[in-house]
Amino acid sequence: MRRIPLHPLVDYWGRPGPLEWSAVFGRSAPLVVEIGFGRGEHLVRWAQASLDRNVVGIEVAWASIQRALRRIRQAGVTNVRILYANAEWALYYLWPRASVERIVSLFPDPWPKARHVHHRLFSRRFFLRAHRVLQEGGTLLLATDDPGFVEWSLAECPTPGFEARVETYRGELRFGTKYEMKWYQVGRTFFVVEFRKTDPLDVPEPEWPPTMRIYQFTEPFDPSRWQGPDQWSDGDVVVVFKEFVWDPARRVGLWKTVIREDTIVQNVWIEVRWVGDRWRLLPSDGCKFLPTYGLQKALDVLAESLKGREFGSLADG
Ligand SMILES: C[S@@+](CC[C@H](N)C(=O)[O-])C[C@H]1O[C@@H](n2cnc3c(N)ncnc32)[C@H](O)[C@@H]1O
């Protein structure tokens, strides 16, 4: 198996709040973002052509990220970083307000079936989040071959807030991505919609729990007989406790937990571990997690069922 350089991959796990982008890049420069970069052809060329910009690519598909990391290494570009994340979530939670100059999304999945519309980027909520993160006059670009998607995105776009300009092209390649190539070969017409942030909009800041409450308890507890909760929901957040694994030798129990909230799903292990004279309940060491309200709720629900008392936070615990 060939090793892939991971260093352009941004580690954002475990910490609440937006990232310090100048620290991530080791320099301060205007930020531009590509969402759903696929094979990374455009991302790398954009970085090469914009050495005075810090370029961030966001992708949900790990296979695409691996390809892009190789491409970045081969090209030797240093002003590009990769986020393995859902773009709508990341734009809202990982950037401070008014910090991005330009966002591009090339040939996003159009999700044509009515029951899949909620998967689409360029919903009203997406526009509000993009608006918050863009600088005054900043732009959001959509390229697609799907006229229905263009119409839908224009209807979702808040005005005032943005001004949209639509352009079409045909018989040429402007971005050189896999999907542009695919539709070019069958002679499709392309649409480029540029949404420019023009007017202020009242978009609230995202909320992170200030610190994660974690728990301890000293009451007798036999994990091998324990029947924990199955699930918890308040309508917006759903927590499912899927499975409990108990290692009697090491006195560690692990819950496989799935947390759905906002636009993300987290699969995390939550552990109860005997430490000296007490049990401690917290997200498992070594497991990648985001310190969100859903994860806090999962800890709270388990602690309630175990009668745990708060003893600290992940920041200081
Ligand atoms: C149809 S492909 C287009 C890929 C590339 N831009 C191109 O033009 O060839 C859509 C890409 O968006 C990614 N994607 C879909 N939803 C996403 C999301 N919410 N956040 C980040 N990437 C996403 C997919 O994994 C896929 O790589």
What are 301-305's contacts with CB under 8 Å, separation 24+?
301/229, 301/232, 301/239, 302/215, 302/228, 302/229, 302/241, 302/255, 302/270, 302/272, 303/215, 303/217, 305/228, 305/229
Distance CA 223, CA 34 (A): 46
> In the block, which residue shows the tokens 């939670």?
93
Ligand 1 center–CA 59 separation, angstroms = 6
Q: List, in sequence order, the alpha helices (H) in 77-177.
A: 87-93, 124-133, 147-156
Choose among 299, 263, 294, 307: nearest CA to 283.
299
Closest residue by Cα to atom 11, ligand 1, is 36
Angle (CA) 45-50-53 rounded to 5° is 125
Angle (CA) 65-76-45 rounded to 5° is 65
What's the pLDDT score for residue 52? 98
What's the pLDDT score for residue 219? 84
Ligand 1 center–CA 236 separation, angstroms = 25
Q: For the chain (length 317 residues), average pLDDT per consecutive 10? A: 70 90 96 98 98 98 95 96 96 97 98 92 98 98 98 98 98 98 98 97 91 89 85 96 93 95 95 92 90 95 88 70
CATH 3.40.50.150 fits 21-197, yes or no: yes
Pocket probe for ligand 1: among 35, 106, 145, the residue whose CB has the most ligand atoms within 8 Å is: 35
Q: State in Å, rounded, how far the first CA of the chain is from the last one.
A: 38
30: left (phi over 0), alpha (psi -120 to 50) or beta: beta
How is the chain split into domains, by residue range? 21-197, 213-313
Distance CA 119, CA 261 (A): 14
Ligand 1 center–CA 108 separation, angstroms = 5
The answer to whether 109 is a known catalytic residue is yes
Give the chain's length: 317
Answer whether 59 contacts ligand 1 (Cβ < 6 A).
Answer: yes
136-162 burial, b at 16+ Cβ within 10 Å, e below that, comes to eebbbbbbbbbeebbebbbebbeeebb
Pocket probe for ligand 1: among 107, 142, 181, the residue whose CB has the most ligand atoms within 8 Å is: 107
Is residue 192 within 8 Å of 148, Cβ to Cβ? Answer: no
Answer whether 105 contacts ligand 1 (Cβ < 6 A).
Answer: no
Distance CA 10, CA 52 (A): 20
Identify whether 108 is preceded by a cis peptide bond (ω within 30 of 0): no
Ligand 1 center–CA 66 separation, angstroms = 14
What's the pLDDT score for residue 317? 44
Both tokens assigned to 51: 């050495």
